[in-house]
């Protein structure tokens, strides 16, 4: 079974605009007069596709505030500031988008009140993937340019991980919590030379975290890395010993998806957590190149057919065996995250619901 399985500050400021005296020229909604963001009208084809997907699969995107998604997720043109504050409820009405990754939490810890405000906007079966703050997930204190300035004394600190991340997320999101992801930023060379110490430190933190299941039955703790040196049996032992799992990070700093599957096999059975971050075409430091090329994120530019096919196979295998799957996708994966979600959903549906050859006779 194993080998065949894996052959990846909130505020409400709604102020509707006054009715115009005459027909106006179309203009974008702005934060100064922010209406409710309108979702796209129901699409029977998307609803039918969603009904073919496993109920234990949550597909979604990394954040939701992109104006270029007009016509796919939003019915109308909205500024990013409006979508950031008011777009989540509309996003969550898309039939295929049953999850989202909250990435802003990496830059500054969020409060339980902020998490609760997000949870209040989405349906009961919606789930959140949340990134741990760099306060505990980055080994370095970084400057404005992202360069490491000095060692971070709070890296993997058990108490801070609990009080600044896990507990507020539990208190605010409740049962809508899906995956809490510690995305460990690239380690400096001095730490890479002492990986056993890093592993011990990671295990200590993970084992000390509050239990998720009493509040969030679907919740899972996952660790995503940026150094391939982590992908070892020792890392697997740390995760298993703490009841955590591996977050498959599809990013050029790591080997391709196929090379990460042995770690998932070693942790089987368990939930699947995957974040498809960046197309391998752009290299390890290609975020800005991808952003410049893909904005406004309204179309697919670089389809990665191999990654899609492998990820669809892994998702179908995991969910078919009764495991939960949380898969979120960035615009920088192929150019437009909602369009990648659609393409991936079609591949998954085709894999788990193959056409009946008798019908074509």
The mean of the pLDDT values for the chain is 90
Cα(124)–Cα(193) distance, integer angstroms? 45
Say whether pLDDT at 294 is over 80: yes
pLDDT at 228: 96
Q: Is the dihedral of CA 215, 328, 199, 202 positive or negative?
A: negative
Domain 2-9+39-353: top CATH class: alpha beta
Q: Are 168 and 116 in contact (CB under 8 A)?
A: no
In this prediction, residue 5 has a pLDDT band, given cuts at 50, 70 and 90, of very low
| Amino acid 317: pLDDT | 97
pLDDT in tens, 320-361: 999 999 999 999 999 999 999 999 999 999 999 877 655 544
Q: What pLDDT does 341 receive?
A: 98
**Which 3 state secondary structure label does DSSP give 98?**
coil
Residue 14: per-residue pLDDT? 26
Position 191 scores a pLDDT of 95
Predicted confidence at residue 145, as pLDDT, reads 67
Residues 6+ positions from 321 with CB-CB distance below 8 Å: 1, 5, 269
122-126 LR contacts (CB < 8 Å, sep 24+): 122/88, 122/89, 122/92, 122/176, 123/92, 124/175, 124/176, 125/98, 126/58, 126/92, 126/98, 126/99, 126/100, 126/176
* Cβ(288)–Cβ(300) below 8 Å: no
Cα Dmax for the chain: 70
Name the β-bridge partners of 360: none
Predicted pLDDT at 209: 98
Mean pLDDT is lowest, of 21-35, 114-128, 133-147, 316-330, for: 21-35
pLDDT tens sequence across 59-104:
999 999 999 999 999 999 999 999 999 999 999 999 999 999 999 9
What tokens does 358 get?
A: 């008798």
Categorise residue 165: left if φ over 0, alpha if ψ from -120 to 50, beta otherwise.
alpha
* pLDDT class of 146 with cuts at 50, 70, 90: confident
Mean pLDDT, rounded, for 155-160: 98
Burial class (CB in 10 A: 0-12, 13-18, 19+), 154: middle
Q: Is the pLDDT of residue 283 over 70?
A: yes
Which parts of the chain are beta strand (E)? 57-62, 99-102, 127-131, 140-142, 148-151, 177-183, 220-224, 245-250, 272-276, 325-329
Residue 275: closest CA among 293, 254, 259, 289: 254
- Residue 239 has a pLDDT of 98
* Whole-number pLDDT of residue 18: 34
pLDDT of residue 33: 54
Contact 254/278 with Cβ under 8 angstroms? no
How does strand 99-102 pair with strand 57-62?
Answer: parallel
pLDDT given at position 142 = 84
Which pLDDT value is given to residue 29? 53
Region 287-316: mean pLDDT is 97
Give tens-digit pLDDT for 192-250. Answer: 999 999 999 999 999 999 999 999 999 999 999 999 999 999 999 999 999 999 999 99
Task: Tell me which residue of 241, 238, 245 sits closest to 268, measured CA to CA.
Answer: 245
Angle, CA of 295, 300 and 301, to the nearest 5°: 75
What is the model's pLDDT at position 26? 45
- C-alpha count within 13 angstroms, C-beta hemisphere, residue 132: 36
Q: Is there a cis peptide before residue 86, judged by omega within 30 degrees of 0?
A: no
pLDDT of 15 over the 50 cut: no
Number of H helices and number of E strands within the chain? 16, 10
């Amino acid at each position: 079974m194993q080998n065949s399985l894996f052959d990846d500050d909130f505020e409400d400021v709604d102020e509707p605009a006054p009715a115009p005296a005459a027909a106006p020229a179309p203009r974008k909604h702005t934060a100064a007069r922010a209406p409710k963001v309108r979702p796209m009208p129901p699409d029977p084809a998307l609803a039918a596709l969603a009904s073919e997907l496993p109920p234990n699969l949550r597909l979604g995107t990394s954040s939701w505030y992109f104006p270029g998604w007009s016509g796919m997720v939003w019915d109308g043109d909205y500024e990013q500031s409006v979508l950031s504050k008011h777009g989540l409820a509309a996003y969550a009405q898309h039939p295929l988008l049953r999850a989202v990754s909250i990435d802003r939490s990496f830059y500054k810890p969020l409060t339980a009140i902020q998490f609760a405000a997000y949870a209040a906007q989405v349906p009961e079966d919606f789930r959140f993937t949340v990134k741990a703050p760099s306060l505990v997930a980055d080994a370095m204190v970084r400057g404005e340019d992202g360069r490491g300035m000095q060692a971070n004394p709070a890296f993997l600190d058990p108490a801070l991980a609990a009080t600044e991340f896990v507990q507020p997320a539990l208190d605010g999101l409740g049962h809508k919590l899906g995956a809490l992801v510690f995305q460990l930023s690239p380690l400096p060379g001095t730490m890479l030379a002492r990986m056993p110490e890093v592993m011990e430190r990671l295990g200590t933190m993970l084992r000390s975290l509050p239990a998720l299941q009493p509040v969030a039955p679907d919740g899972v703790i996952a660790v995503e890395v940026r150094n391939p040196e982590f992908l070892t049996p020792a890392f697997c032992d740390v995760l298993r010993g703490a009841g955590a799992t591996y977050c498959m990070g599809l990013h050029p700093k790591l080997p391709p998806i196929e090379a990460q599957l042995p770690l998932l096999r070693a942790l089987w059975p368990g939930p699947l957590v995957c974040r498809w971050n960046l197309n391998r075409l752009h290299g390890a430091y290609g975020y800005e190149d991808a952003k410049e090329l893909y904005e406004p994120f309204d179309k697919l530019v670089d389809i990665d057919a191999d990654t899609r096919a492998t990820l669809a196979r892994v998702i179908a295998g995991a969910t078919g065996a009764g495991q939960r799957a949380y898969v979120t996708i960035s615009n920088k994966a192929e150019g437009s995250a909602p369009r990648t979600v659609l393409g991936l959903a079609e591949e998954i549906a085709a894999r788990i619901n193959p056409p009946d050859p008798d019908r074509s006779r």
